[in-house]
């Protein structure tokens, strides 16, 4: 059978744009002689619409979009993801469904059975699970139509307290009883650099176990924090993958399931993939929000330099503006490094010294500070003065502020709320400092864009004389290893210590993570590239006793 895989980038709630995009792919598939074109999970709405699914007018628009798309399916059939209403008086209002559109109408609808409700996933909040397993006949073949998690009843786990079987049923086990010819899976599976093989491993096991080929169509593009990486594929019953679509971009391919071929995809290392994810994340955030221009503070340090380089790739050099805001503690090399970066990238940059405002704040506060010794209060005044300046430019010119905090800092609360934690989007909040270095080298792979000195100098917030990050934090290689074990691997402090880390260091770090939940609560949305990013996928109580 000739099937088209349509891997598209949707915009949440933009029914018009999504519908037009889907119809365009249907016509393309028809022209190329496909009998069926497959789209991804919740294609009509974009994944994930969250509580918009609770709004009647939203569901109505999704239904209208499906009907409009169905009218295009006269000489070709399409499988399209969209919500549908649960007509039973009992259970959640909606199903997460796959619509088979054929002969100008909705031929049949199948619903998702396994609803992921962990990490960033909230599907039980809105959907009732399917409990009926039926095959869909199409052109003499029997299709087993599944949606994303439906094939994940057995899944890899990252730590021993996780479970590999989160669900009580196996949809493919049920469907296989009806001897299907082909499994189709409509997906919305996000990118995680440290779980990149999970998807193929999981589906390959299913294909071999049930001796069934699988057509897998994923979404691509970023929806605020979540980056979908595409990489749709056709998987044969022997576990080989003869067809694979592009990563981090839209792609489209018509395959013959009896004789599938395609040009091979080059797989890059995880740093190159994180790089692609972040550029796509920035680009889609701006495009889908209707913004064009970014602004950010340039400190001369590696984090702001990396964000600036990524932003220029995503938005173009004419749409990124850098602001240097030196204080009396800023070293000469910081200013030079920031200027050099801006020149290397060819972006507009301006300089505003902060000292006069900082002095004025300190002067006005002096009568109330009771001659107490300088502490974090004075340091934060500097960071917040910069925050005001860059937000003033943002407000005046409509440039969106990019946040430059990395995951290591975000984890331990090394940053000033309402100061350098400001921003519309956090670009590096899910990238550990050790990977910030690797990404910077990657950016410089062909020529020096990020100044060498920004990469090699000891990291410093420069909020007091001769300050270094290592004054209050362990070395980043230790810090990041402990954080990864605590956050991604979900290990207890004792378990981390038993891996050979110093007890004092581990307890200090985990305590800092716990004590800074309140800061992260007010963080901008963070582009997610790992299996456990701060934000929506990691829900920790604020008011709690953390030991």
- The answer to whether residue 414 forms part of the interface with a copy of itself (CB under 8 A) is no
Q: Tell me which residues in 213-232 interact with a copy of itself (CB under 8 A).
A: 222-224
Q: Tell me which residues in 372-411 interact with a copy of itself (CB under 8 A).
A: 372, 375-378, 380-381, 384-385, 387-389, 391-393, 395-396
- C-beta of 370 vs 447, nearer to a copy of itself: 370
- The answer to whether residue 503 forms part of the interface with a copy of itself (CB under 8 A) is no
- C-beta of 10 vs 216, nearer to a copy of itself: 10
Q: Tell me which residues in 427-486 interact with a copy of itself (CB under 8 A).
A: none
- In whole angstroms, give the CA distance from residue 153 to residue 441: 39
Least CB distance to a copy of itself at residue 78 (A): 22
Least CB distance to a copy of itself at residue 42 (A): 12
CA distances from 399 to 51, 281, 319 (A): 28, 17, 8
Enumerate residues 6+ apart whose C-beta is below 8 A from 212: 144, 172, 176, 180, 181, 182, 183, 206, 237
- C-beta of 225 vs 480, nearer to a copy of itself: 225
CA proximity to 459, closest of 321, 257, 299, 254: 299
Q: Tell me which residues in 26-85 interact with a copy of itself (CB under 8 A).
A: 46, 48-52, 54-57, 59
Least CB distance to a copy of itself at residue 242 (A): 33
Binding mask 161-190 for a copy of itself (x = CB under 8 A): xxx-xxxx----------------------
Residue 398: both structure tokens together: 């409509």
Coil, strand, or helix at residue 95?
strand
- C-beta of 263 vs 539, nearer to a copy of itself: 539
CA proximity to 4, closest of 41, 38, 44: 38
- In whole angstroms, give the CA distance from residue 217 to residue 232: 5
- In whole angstroms, give the CA distance from residue 214 to residue 204: 9
- In whole angstroms, give the CA distance from residue 159 to residue 136: 38
Residues 525, 528, 529, 531: which binds a copy of itself (CB under 8 A)?
A: 525
Total of residues contacting a copy of itself (CB under 8 A): 96
- C-beta of 124 vs 270, nearer to a copy of itself: 124
Catalytic residue among 30, 35, 41, 244: 41
Residues 27, 64, 75, 91: which binds a copy of itself (CB under 8 A)?
A: 91
- C-beta of 32 vs 355, nearer to a copy of itself: 355
Catalytic residue among 21, 35, 72, 148: 148
Q: Which stretch binds a copy of itself (CB under 8 A): 23-31, 333-341, 467-475, 538-546?
A: 538-546
Say if CB 526 and CB 405 are below 8 A apart. no
Binding mask 310-349 for a copy of itself (x = CB under 8 A): ----------------------------------------
DSSP 281-342: HHHHHHHHHT---EEEE--SSHHHHHHHHHHHHHH-GGGEEEEE---TT--HHHHHHHHHHH
Least CB distance to a copy of itself at residue 540 (A): 6
- In whole angstroms, give the CA distance from residue 352 to residue 354: 6
Q: Which stretch binds a copy of itself (CB under 8 A): 63-71, 185-193, 405-413, 536-544?
A: 536-544
Least CB distance to a copy of itself at residue 456 (A): 32
Q: Which stretch binds a copy of itself (CB under 8 A): 28-36, 138-146, 310-318, 356-364?
A: 356-364
Question: Distance from CA of residue 541 to its chain's centroid?
Answer: 23
Residues 71, 103, 117, 240: which binds a copy of itself (CB under 8 A)?
A: 117
- The answer to whether residue 521 forms part of the interface with a copy of itself (CB under 8 A) is yes
Least CB distance to a copy of itself at residue 215 (A): 27
Residues 64, 103, 197, 364: which binds a copy of itself (CB under 8 A)?
A: 364
Q: Facing residues of 466 across strands?
A: none
Say if CB 46 and CB 223 are below 8 A apart. yes
112 is catalytic: yes
Place of tokens 């002095």: 359
Burial class of residue 352 in the structure, from the number of CB atoms within 10 Å of its CB (0-12 exposed, 13-18 middle, 19+ buried): middle
CA distances from 18 to 40, 68, 80, 210 (A): 12, 12, 11, 34
148 is catalytic: yes
Binding mask 124-163 for a copy of itself (x = CB under 8 A): xx--x-------------------------------xxxx
Question: Please, what is the Cα angle at 140 between 139 and 142, to 5 degrees?
Answer: 100
Question: Distance from CA of residue 531 to its chain's centroid?
Answer: 10
Catalytic residue among 21, 112, 407, 519: 112
Active-site residue set: 41, 112, 148
């Amino acid at each position: 059978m000739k099937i088209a895989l349509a891997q598209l980038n949707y915009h949440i709630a933009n029914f018009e744009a999504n519908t037009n995009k889907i119809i365009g792919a249907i016509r393309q598939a028809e022209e190329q002689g496909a009998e069926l074109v497959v789209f991804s999970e919740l294609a009509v709405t974009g994944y994930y619409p969250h509580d918009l699914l609770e709004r009647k007018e939203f569901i109505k628009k999704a239904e209208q979009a499906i009907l409009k798309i169905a009218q295009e399916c006269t000489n070709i059939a399409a499988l399209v993801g969209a919500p549908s209403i649960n007509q039973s008086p009992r259970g959640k209002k909606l199903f997460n469904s796959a619509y088979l559109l054929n002969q100008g109408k909705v031929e049949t609808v199948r619903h998702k059975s396994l609803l992921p409700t962990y990490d960033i996933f909230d599907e039980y909040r809105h959907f009732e699970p399917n409990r009926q397993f039926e095959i869909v006949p199409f052109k003499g073949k029997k299709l087993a139509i599944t949606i994303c998690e439906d094939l994940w009843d057995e899944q890899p786990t990252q730590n021993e307290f996780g479970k590999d079987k989160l669900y009580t049923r196996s949809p493919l086990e049920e469907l296989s009883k009806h001897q299907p010819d082909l499994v189709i899976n409509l997906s919305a599976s996000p990118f995680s650099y440290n779980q990149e093989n999970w998807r193929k491993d999981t589906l390959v096991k299913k294909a071999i176990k049930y001796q069934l080929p699988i057509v897998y169509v994923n979404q691509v593009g970023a929806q605020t924090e979540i980056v979908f990486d595409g990489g749709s594929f056709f998987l044969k019953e022997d576990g080989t993958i003869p067809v694979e679509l592009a990563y981090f971009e839209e792609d489209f391919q018509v395959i013959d399931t009896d004789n599938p071929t395609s040009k091979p995809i080059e797989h890059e290392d995880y740093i190159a993939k994180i790089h692609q994810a972040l550029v796509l994340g920035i680009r889609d955030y701006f495009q889908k929000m209707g913004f064009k221009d970014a602004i950010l503070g340039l400190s001369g340090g590696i984090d702001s330099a990396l964000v600036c380089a990524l932003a220029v790739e995503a938005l173009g050099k004419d749409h990124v503006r850098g602001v240097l805001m030196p204080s009396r503690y800023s070293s000469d090399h910081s200013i030079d490094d920031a200027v050099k970066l801006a020149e290397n990238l060819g972006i507009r940059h301006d300089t505003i010294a902060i000292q006069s405002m900082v002095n004025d704040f300190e002067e006005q506060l002096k009568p109330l500070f009771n001659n107490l010794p300088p502490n974090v209060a004075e340091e934060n005044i500097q960071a917040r003065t910069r925050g005001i300046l860059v937000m003033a430019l943002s407000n005046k010119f409509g440039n969106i502020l990019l946040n430059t905090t990395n995951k290591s800092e975000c984890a331990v609360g090394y940053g000033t709320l309402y100061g350098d934690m400001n921003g519309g989007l956090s670009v590096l909040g899910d990238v550990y400092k050790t990977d910030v270095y690797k990404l910077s080298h990657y950016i410089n792979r062909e020529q020096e864009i990020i100044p060498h000195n920004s990469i090699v100098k000891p990291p410093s917030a420069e909020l007091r004389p001769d300050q270094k990050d290592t004054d209050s934090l362990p070395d980043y290689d230790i810090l990041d290893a402990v954080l990864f074990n605590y956050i991604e691997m979900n290990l207890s402090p004792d378990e981390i210590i038993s891996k050979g880390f110093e007890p004092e260091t581990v307890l200090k770090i985990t305590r800092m993570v716990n004590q800074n939940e309140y800061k992260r609560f007010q963080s901008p949305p963070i582009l997610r590239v790992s299996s456990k990013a701060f934000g929506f996928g990691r829900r920790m109580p604020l008011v709690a006793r953390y030991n």
